[in-house]
Amino acid sequence: MNLSTTIAGVTFPTCFMNAAGACCVTQEELEALGESHAGAIVTKSMTPQPREGNPGPRYHSFPGGSINSMGLPNLGYPAYAKLIPELRRFGKPIVASIAGLNPQDFLEAAKAIELAKPDLVEVNLSCPNLPGEPQIAYDIEASRRILLELQECLTIPMGVKLPPYFDPVHHEAMAGMLEGVNVSFLSLINSVGNGLVIDPESETVVIKPKGGFGGIGGTIIKPVALANVRAFWKLFQGRMPIIGVGGVVTGTDAFEHLLCGASAVQVGTTLVEEGLTAFERLEKELSEVLTKKGYASVDDCRGRLKEL
């Protein structure tokens, strides 16, 4: 079974990779991804300065998903710029995720990462877990300004990680803006922001930052993720490569993302809960689904979702 995929001219040996933020902060974690069955090494979303992130507890799993408010803990882009060339020895694509608290942060990170030469740059405009900071991607014009500036200093193919949108008007507005900038792929979606999980026994919230509010991930958000993948696949008429993110627990979940139009999938909550062996299991399960359905490759089923 051919599980390879190509995004922006970059070939991935398998369509499964980690989501930025899941087991990818430290050098040890990135090297472990390189040694695993992951089809790529995706870095943590990086900022100009190292960040400890929000105080703990800041991650909690529950039946059906997880809630987190990590606050972008990362080593800072100078450290990742140094690490990226060293990660080449694993022979798989490297995706550098960049973030920022203001537009200048994105530009500084992009200039440093350009010199490190990852295969792709994922621009995270959708972190919902920074106290007092808005999700940039809910402001179309602010997103446009940042992406236009980034395309001036990046020769590496650039993609955008977007938050969930819940109205077709917002899908259309963002897609229309993206038509005017040099974006090579989309990662859909980041966690569903500002959820709240409560422990009824202790009568408390389960994470400390933001009074217990955090980003929701895992199985519970899969319908929202699939809807966003499908909406953008249709708006771009299949021309824009999409990485599906959200609710990938089984090979069947990955298959659903592919049917909606995704070229690859990223794994977050499942990776945190199960560890790196999840990649090998997911490959096996997806291969079994594709074989049963009569598909010979990931490409064969992409976007083939039937409508009634």
Catalytic residue among 127, 143, 191, 263: 127
Catalytic residue among 126, 143, 187, 263: 126
Torsion of CA 270, 276, 282, 284, to 10 degrees: -160
Catalytic-residue membership of 260: no
CA distance 161 to 124: 5
Torsion of CA 141, 146, 150, 152, to 10 degrees: 60
CA distance 175 to 180: 9
Q: Are 180 and 155 in contact (CB under 8 A)?
A: no
Q: Are 120 and 184 in contact (CB under 8 A)?
A: yes
CA distance 38 to 267: 10
Q: Are 22 and 272 in contact (CB under 8 A)?
A: yes
Query: Would you list the DSSP string of 45-60?
Result: PB-SS-B--SPSP-EE
Catalytic-residue membership of 127: yes
141 CB burial (10 A radius; 0-12, 13-18, 19+): exposed
Handedness of CA 123, 127, 132, 136 (dihedral sign): positive
Q: Please identify every residue annotated as catalytic.
A: 126-127
